[in-house]
Amino acid sequence: MPQIITSEEDPLELSCDALVVGAFEGSDGPQLSTVGVALDERLGGALSEALLAEGFKAKRGTSSLIATLGRVPAGTIAVAGLGAKDAVDPSSVRRAAGAVAKRLSERTEVVAVLDEGYGDAGSAAQVEGYLLGSYRYEKISSRDDTPERTTRVLVHGSAASVERGIAYAEATNRARDLVNDPPDRLTPKAFAARAKNVADIGGLACKILDEVELANGGFGGILAVAAGSAEPPRLVELNYDPPGATGRVTIIGKGVTYDSGGLSIKSAAGMQNMKTDMGGGAAVIGAMSVLAKLGTLVAVRALIPMTENMIGPAAMRVDDVIVHYGGRTTEMNNADAEGRLILADTIALASEEPSDAMVDIATLTGHMVVGLGDKIGGLFANDSDLMDELKAAGDLAGEDLWPMPLYEGYEKHLDSQVADQKSAGKREGGGISAALFIQRFVGTGIPWAHLDIAGPGRADAPHDLGPKGGTGFGTRTLLEWIEARGR
């Protein structure tokens, strides 16, 4: 990951491989930022002429590289498009920084000035975007072909804002690493060990329940999903308890490290990338990893149930009846609707302790992908204030969430003649009935929200803020929400 350094020096006087400046869309061509205008004057108008000749429009996420030919200390000028000036916000800065970072991946000394006029939020977003755009998963290879290169990025901004941007990016990239790890390496046991390592580094308390403790505790949902796998399940609890905490929240992340569909087996194409079905758990671990570094004032309890959903002699069957933690029963009618079963146990456990609010995050249903695509997560909540808080947090984080209804008319889709409920409702409105199922395990009076990130949890192509693969979606939303609660 690039090394971020703050600087108060004049960026035009700094010797570097590339100087990054912003530009806005204009009716007569791109409008350079304040630093860009000063740079253009130093170059005798050559920068603006080059951009016009190239046809650069400064649309969001675009960039242009212009050689300086030794006329200023910087070897190259990287102009990052910020879009329309009146619509620029920290998300625009984050996206621009990420896009230009990908183009400058071979440069070792970069000076970035994209946050002019956007305060600490802009500075944090610039750092965050550059680090997210620079992310690469260290692939497993028989040869070490990773170039030994350290990129130093000098930015203008307060030390606090820069550190915040670094923390948010570190958390997201940690989640991405977990999502991108192959399932033969990130088994439930290994996933739990990674969570323990994060706890040790991040000053968190950690408790891990193994398969024997889960059986003794009556965690029927987790055990049923794990029954077909040779890999035993785990339930991880992480706790962040700052002195003088101003509140307490609970976050829960689905941790299915591989989902074959169980006896309701997926097709070969459907199994592709099912290692990413623990993206919610990864987001929770990523967020927890930096709470102490950020000095967050809210106490946070995190729970991540970890298992595989596989085919085996003891695999759960359609028509089985599961007894969950707390005693509720579920008739299995789709072995590929496993995520809600492990969340049900975990939410029932979480509801036993006081909490100001509870949020679960999961790559839960394909229905959300069909309805919202691969860039937007579904947001369900039983409390309008909590829904507004999370929507605002997602907007600040650049992670779009769309409010969805907990429509009571679909409760009947979960009716069962042999148990308290069925595991899955009808195909139509399936994402809603999944949320309704989970809601049944939330304790009385607890404000609760459910984030279905099945679409944006994984990117099938490179994007401004990273490569193909795990996105870490939801990590920054959780952090924004938790931090806002502590202010």
pLDDT in tens, the chain (487 residues): 789 988 888 999 989 999 999 999 998 889 999 999 999 999 999 999 999 999 999 999 899 999 998 999 999 999 999 999 999 999 999 999 999 999 998 888 998 888 777 888 999 999 999 999 999 998 776 666 555 556 788 887 889 999 999 999 999 999 999 999 999 999 999 999 999 999 999 999 999 999 999 999 999 999 999 999 999 999 999 999 999 999 999 999 999 999 999 999 999 999 999 999 999 999 999 999 999 999 999 999 999 999 999 999 999 999 999 999 999 999 999 999 999 999 999 999 999 999 999 999 999 999 999 999 999 999 999 999 999 999 999 999 999 999 999 999 999 999 999 999 999 999 999 999 999 999 999 999 999 999 999 999 999 999 999 999 999 999 999 999 999 999 8
Residues constituting the chain: 487
With beta carbons less than 8 A apart as the criterion, state whether 331 and 423 touch. yes
| Nearest in space to 249 (alpha carbons), one of 286, 296, 217 | 296
In the chain, what are the domain boundaries?
3-134, 169-485
| 124 closest CA partner among 167, 82, 161 | 161
**Which tokens sit at 188?**
């439930």
Amino acid (one-letter) located at 259:
D
Q: How many CB atoms lie within 10 A of CB 144?
A: 8
Whether domain 3-134 has CATH 3.40.718.10: the reply is no
Indicate if 169-485 has the same CATH topology as 3-134: no
Calculate the CA dihedral of residues 35, 39, 45, 51 and round it to 10 degrees. Answer: -70
> pTM of the entire structure?
0.96
Within 8 A by CB and 6+ apart from 472, the residues are: 171, 172, 173, 174, 175, 176, 179, 279, 282, 283, 286
Residues that are catalytic: 266, 340
Separation CA 261–CA 361 (nearest Å): 20
Q: How many CA atoms lie within 13 A of 250 on its CB side?
A: 25
Closest CA relative to residue 306, chosen from 359, 366, 253: 253
Beta pairing partners, 252: 303, 360
Pick the CATH number of 169-485 from 3.30.540.10, 3.40.50.880, 3.40.630.10, 3.40.50.620: 3.40.630.10
What sign does the CA torsion over 4, 6, 11, 15 have? negative
Q: How far is 268 from 46, CA to CA, in rounded Å?
A: 55
DSSP code at position 290: T
Compute the C-alpha angle 397/399/400, nearest 5°: 130
Handedness of CA 301, 229, 259, 137 (dihedral sign): positive
